[in-house]
């Protein structure tokens, strides 16, 4: 056990319940179900409304998981460009399909806000609020970017104000069924911070020493990260209504000890499980699903949370069509073979496990997010499409 964390677990017992009339209870909220096409927009110029239509028109697809960067949605303070969300929403509603929102801050915080923060390497005092780190994965991997400190109040205040705008515009839109929790993160909505390199991990250590004196349990631990994840989880519940609030697992918390990252993640998820949230449904997913990751606490951890009352799902680690060897964890695989290998892990120990070469169990997964390239491929390859059709039936029947 990391020093100072027992208090955090105890604090989950008494949760808020505002008892307001007219708010849907979790049992009445329709969360994501079926296959969602992951449409990643790293730059607004990449968005194609025709692609949205092609993805939604696939008969196995229930909706789109739209992943966007905050910096492009609020290009100037208080000035919002939500045209991509609005156009996607119109296409989804026309087809009676749904949207899961994934909006990423961290590295992708608007420049106008990042520019307000003092660099910790220029001024090593508690006034500092950002530092340069390496992007560990995804688009831009290896780049050095400025990251707001996950506990910086200017950063979190701007992010909360933006989320309030999103909630005000889209709480009433039933076609938007879920939103992923983010804030104390960097490259995605996962529990993830840059720290794979010894240099970056040492930088985190030095930064924590600026903010916390010797002997404070926040030093050389994920304690402040845990606290801010809990704060943001509560904020999403208080701000959104009628949605599924998704907490996404990840293996990227600070690696200060052999148990620290995994234990910290489980404390956050345990907090989420125990919380009494009357306004929204709770969902848990892993976004690193592939055939050789069944034992990393990802999808198997999600199945455990299902048994504790949460909606469960997953996102593929990458496109199975573009990366069959990586996704299927073997050489020479066709996309269809790789897809089946991933699905065996996904469905193992669920109510559909034996159909996919695994074992049957009690867990009932609700949704699966596949990248747009896989859905595009399915549109022209009947065998791949047939597999997706069966997945859709297993998730929605």
pLDDT at site 293: 65
pLDDT band (50, 70, 90) for residue 27: low
Q: Where are the alpha helices (DSSP H) in 109-259?
A: 111-114, 153-170, 198-211, 223-239
pLDDT band (50, 70, 90) for residue 22: very low
From residue 290, give the alpha-carbon distance in Å to each of 296, 310, 337, 390. 11, 22, 12, 19
Write out pLDDT tens, residues 160-183.
999 999 999 999 999 999 999 999
pLDDT at site 7: 34
Looking at CATH, the fold of the domain delimited by 6-12+34-107+150-396 is given as TIM Barrel (3.20.20)
DSSP-derived secondary structure letter, 361 = -
d(CA 360, CA 312): 16
pLDDT at site 20: 34
Q: What does pTM read for this prediction? A: 0.92
Write out pLDDT tens, residues 334-371.
999 999 999 999 999 999 999 999 999 999 999 999 99
Give the DSSP H/E element, type plus range, for residue 86. helix 83-94
Quote the tokens at residue 226: 């845990």
Report yes or no: 2 and 221 within 8 Å, Cβ to Cβ: yes
Write out pLDDT tens, residues 85-144.
999 999 999 999 999 999 999 999 999 999 999 999 898 899 999 999 999 887 888 889
Helix, strand or coil, per DSSP, at residue 318: coil
Domain boundaries, the chain: 6-12+34-107+150-396
Least trusted range by pLDDT, from 15-24, 132-141, 143-152, 327-336: 15-24
């Amino acid at each position: 056990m990391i020093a100072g964390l027992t208090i955090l677990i105890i604090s989950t017992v008494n949760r808020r319940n505002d008892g307001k009339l007219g708010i849907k209870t979790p049992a009445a909220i329709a969360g994501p179900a079926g296959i969602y096409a992951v449409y990643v927009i790293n730059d607004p110029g990449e968005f194609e409304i025709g692609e949205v239509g092609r993805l939604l028109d696939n008969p196995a697809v229930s909706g789109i998981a739209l992943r966007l960067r905050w910096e492009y949605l609020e290009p100037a303070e208080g000035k919002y460009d939500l045209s991509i969300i609005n156009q996607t929403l119109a296409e989804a509603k026309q087809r009676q399909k749904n949207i899961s929102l994934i909006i990423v801050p961290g590295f992708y915080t608007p420049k106008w806000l990042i520019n307000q923060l003092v660099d910790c390497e220029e001024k090593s005092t508690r006034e500092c609020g950002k530092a340069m780190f390496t992007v560990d994965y995804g688009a831009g991997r290896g780049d050095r970017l400025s990251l707001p400190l996950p506990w910086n109040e200017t950063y979190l205040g701007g992010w909360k104000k933006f989320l309030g705008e999103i909630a005000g515009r889209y709480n009433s839109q039933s076609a938007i069924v879920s939103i992923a929790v983010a804030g104390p993160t960097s490259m995605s909505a996962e529990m993830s911070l840059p720290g794979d390199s010894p240099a970056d991990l040492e930088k985190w250590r030095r930064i924590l020493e600026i903010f916390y004196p010797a002997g404070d349990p926040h030093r050389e631990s994920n304690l402040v990260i845990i606290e801010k994840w809990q704060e943001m989880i509560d904020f999403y519940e208080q701000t959104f209504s009628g949605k599924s609030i998704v907490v996404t697992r990840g293996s990227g918390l600070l690696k200060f000890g052999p148990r620290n990252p995994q234990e910290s993640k489980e404390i956050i998820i345990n907090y989420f499980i125990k919380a009494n949230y009357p306004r929204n449904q709770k969902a848990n997913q892993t976004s690193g699903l592939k055939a050789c990751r069944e034992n990393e606490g990802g999808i198997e951890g999600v199945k455990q949370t299902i048994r504790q009352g949460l909606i469960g799902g997953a996102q593929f680690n990458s496109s199975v069509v573009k990366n069959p060897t990586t996704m299927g964890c073997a050489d020479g695989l066709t996309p269809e073979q790789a897809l089946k290998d991933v699905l065996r892990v996904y469905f193992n120990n669920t109510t559909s496990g034996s159909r996919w070469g695994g074992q049957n169990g009690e867990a009932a997964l609700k949704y699966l997010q596949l990248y747009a390239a896989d859905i595009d491929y399915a549109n022209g390859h009947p065998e791949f499409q047939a597999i997706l059709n069966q997945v859709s039936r297993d998730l929605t029947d």
